[in-house]
Amino acid sequence: MIITIDTGGTKTLISSFSKNGRMGASVKFPTPPDQRDYVASLRQTLRDNYAHESVDVIVVALPGIIKDGVALWCQNLGWANFEAAKHFKDLLPGVPVLIENDANLAGLAETRALNPVPVSSLYVTISTGIGSGFCTNGFIDPGLRHSEAGHALVEFDGRVQRWEAFASGHAIVNVYKKFARDITSKRTWRQIADRMSRGFLAVIPITQPDVIIIGGSVGSYFDRYGDFLMQTLSERLPSHIPCPKIVQAQHPEQAVVYGCYYYGKDYLANQKAKK
């Protein structure tokens, strides 16, 4: 069994998967703001529900940059330099724990859902903020796993800003006083597509992905702005740089836990190959 943990700003979702990818029952609990309380709640929930199960690996998704088992910064949680690997070491006795950025894992799941799997893909989640995950040949790209496209510095409205400061779901609410789900005006969505395009225009020439996958809460409304976004990118990208195919995420609500599953499955396959 593979246990997957999606740590969100307000709630944590724990799901179990069989080795063939079948999802079992899920458990949720509010994500405590304090790191120690979170670890205690996570350990207790796991032991209450899975202590008597045969668990092969636990995969934890955190919303921040993970280096050497340390969550350097999780903005939505307010955590900095959280020694996750140290605190997660004994969640279930004897069970290995893997830790990865949530956008990387969502990108892994959404990339593997494509047929065929592209050589290179960029997953962008547009929600409260903007997160990103790069995959190469269906695996999280090791050279770009710490990238934060939402923090790309772009000139907009006369000043240099982080991309997510003016194009995220939070920014949309601040500017238009409506959530994405409530916006129906084509004019407004064209303006939002223009905001989104600024970051993509900075990132695409550098990374040149074959496919861009857009997820998150704003990604759910791709049908309202997708054509505007593709038109803007096609018009503004240099002529020698092709506009990547842009698609909507297929499983925006479950992409992270499925990414955890694939990540855990790959780990187990690698461990088996070493024996």
pLDDT digits (tens, 9 = 90+) for 171-180: 999 999 999 9
Same fold, 2-105+253-274 and 116-248: yes
- 3-class DSSP state of 29: strand
Mean pLDDT of 185-198: 97
Give the residue extent of every domain in the chain. Answer: 2-105+253-274, 116-248
Encoded tokens for 73: 């910064």
Angle between helix axes 186-207 and 169-176 (nearest 10 degrees) is 150
pLDDT at position 30: 93
pLDDT at position 10: 85
Q: Which CATH class is domain 2-105+253-274?
A: alpha beta
Encoded tokens for 165: 């400061």
pLDDT at position 128: 85
pLDDT at position 253: 78
Query: Residue 154: pLDDT above 90?
Result: yes
Of 23-27, 138-142, 210-214, 262-266, the least confident: 23-27
pLDDT at position 78: 85
CATH number, domain 116-248, options 3.40.309.10, 3.30.390.50, 3.30.420.40, 1.10.1040.10 = 3.30.420.40
Beta strands in the chain (DSSP E): 2-7, 11-17, 23-30, 57-62, 65-67, 70-74, 79-82, 97-101, 120-126, 130-136, 139-140, 153-156, 159-162, 211-215, 245-248
Distances 237 to 69, 113, 220 between C-alpha atoms, Å: 38, 27, 25
